[in-house]
Amino acid sequence: GALDMGGESTQISFIPAETSILANFFPMHVGLGAGPIHLYTHSFLSFGYVTAFQRVSMRILGQLAHRGTKEMHHPCMLKGVSWHVQADKFGVSTTETPARTEGPIHLQGAGDFERCSQAARALLIEA
């Protein structure tokens, strides 16, 4: 199978154990030398890495709102990373030194795999 995490959505494709899956929803039939290959493929909107990071960040910020703080120790950011951002633009960067120096919210990387995994699971449960 294959998993493609884009910015806004995630696509999954695999060869199902049976010829059809989900009553023929989203099937693909690819013809290659030895005969057809039946694939299942589907796109999951709002589960790309940028959107998922934004959703996890908003959830954490919401949990902190009752304390009146705008500083969060983000479990899904590397320890030592420090960003100042706007609430609607948490952003994800592929550079080592992203320009995230302005904004009222302070994200401090915690590098906590277990808490990050729990936050990601919570997104799946609410979907």
Domain positions in the chain are: 2-45, 49-126
pLDDT of residue 44: 87
Which residue ranges of the chain lie beneath pLDDT 50?
none
pLDDT of residue 31: 66
* Cα separation, 44 vs 46, whole angstroms: 7
Q: Residues at the annotated binding site for ATP?
A: 7-11
Looking at the DSSP assignment, which residues form a beta bridge with residue 108? 73, 82
3-state SS, one letter per residue, for 102-127: CCCEEEEECCCHHHHHHHHHHHHHHC
User: pLDDT of 87-100, one tens digit each?
Assistant: 777 666 555 666 66
The pair of structure tokens assigned to 40 is 């299942």
Using a cut of 0.85, tell me whether the model's pTM lies above it.
no
Q: Residues at the annotated binding site?
A: 7-11
* Cα separation, 29 vs 70, whole angstroms: 50
* Cα separation, 99 vs 27, whole angstroms: 42
Q: Tell which residue, 69, 65, 51, has the closest CA to residue 120.
A: 51
